[in-house]
Structure 1
Amino acid sequence: MDSSAPPPPAPPPPAGPPRGARRRDRHGRGLRGPLAPPQVPISLSRSELFEDYVRESMERLERRWPQLIDVDFAVDEVPEGSPGEPGFPPGGGIPLGRVLPARQGGKSRIVIYRRPVEIRAKSRDDRAALVHEILIEQVAELLGLSPDAIDPRYDEE
């Protein structure tokens, strides 16, 4: 053997990820498309889905009570402040919604609090029903009527 001969070339490194690492894209195709179309509820976040419940309920109530067109509906995460302050129910409970009357030419506003409602309702159907019930109660307070006058199906199981 000749000692002046160069050493044999090193074998090329293996292609792909290091040995032992797993790849999800084994065939190199990647994700072919979204898992669900954008209009399907699975692709909506929890807050977007909740806003849809409020929008659907609001539209149902506006069809029956056209004066609600001049009312703003909003969704907040949680109520500001702490129990015992104005705007909180007596007895230390957490409000699920709130009516803010109109000020100097502005619009009245009904606010629904998302997190307290989600905690109380376990399924999507329960959540949608609870949102509608809360909106009925807030609209009744705003208009000075009973909830049964706002929606005859109020408080039916």
Structure 2
Amino acid sequence: MESAQRLERLWGDRIQDVQIIVQEIPAGLEQMAPETVRGLLGTSTPAAGKQPATITVYRHPIEMTARGYIPANELVHDVIVEQMAELLGMAPEAVDPAYGRSRA
């Protein structure tokens, strides 16, 4: 919620219709190669017809990646910024100048 509110303050109406959802794990996890699973913390789907753009954050992979190295909420924010950047066709740093600070 904090990430969505921060981005809404930065981008206003341009991202207002983007939905952010949380799922436990990515669908089809069993069929994915290990290197794909390691990098899959979130995905984005552009708007199509009446369907709004969607960012999906995967709770379990984020918790496993964070594991005390980084606060989970900061990692969630970076994942949301990365996915929003993909939807907007921009660099994550342009979407939120605070992007990646937790991993510096």
For the aligned pair, the TM-score class normalised by the smaller chain equals 0.7 to 0.9
Q: Kindly indicate whether structure 1 or structure 2 has the higher relative contact order, using CA contacts under 8 Å at least 6 residues apart.
A: 2
The match for 1:109 among 54, 60, 71 is 54
Deviation at 1:71, TM superposition (A): 0.6
- The aligned amino acid for 2:83 is Q
The residue aligned with 1:32 is none
Asked if 1:99 is matched to 2:48, the reply is no
Amino acid of the structure 1 residue aligned with 2:66: A
Q: Where in structure 2 are the equivalents of 1:8-157 lying within 5 Å?
A: 55-66=1-12, 67-81=14-28, 82-83=31-32, 91-94=35-38, 95-123=40-68, 126-156=71-101, 157=104
Q: Distance in 2 between matches of 1:60 and 1:149?
A: 14
SS at match of 2:77: helix
Displacement of 1:92 in angstroms is 3.0
Write the letter of the residue equivalent to 2:17. D
Q: CA RMSD in A?
A: 1.8
Partner SS state of residue 117, structure 1: helix
Matches of 2:73 and 2:67, distance apart in 1: 11
CA distance in 2, matches of 1:145, 1:121: 25
TM-score, normalised relative to structure 2:
0.84
Of structures 1 and 2, the larger Rg is shown by 1
Q: TM-score, normalised by structure 1?
A: 0.57
Aligned pair count?
97
Alignment partners' CA distance in 2, 1:58 and 1:112: 12
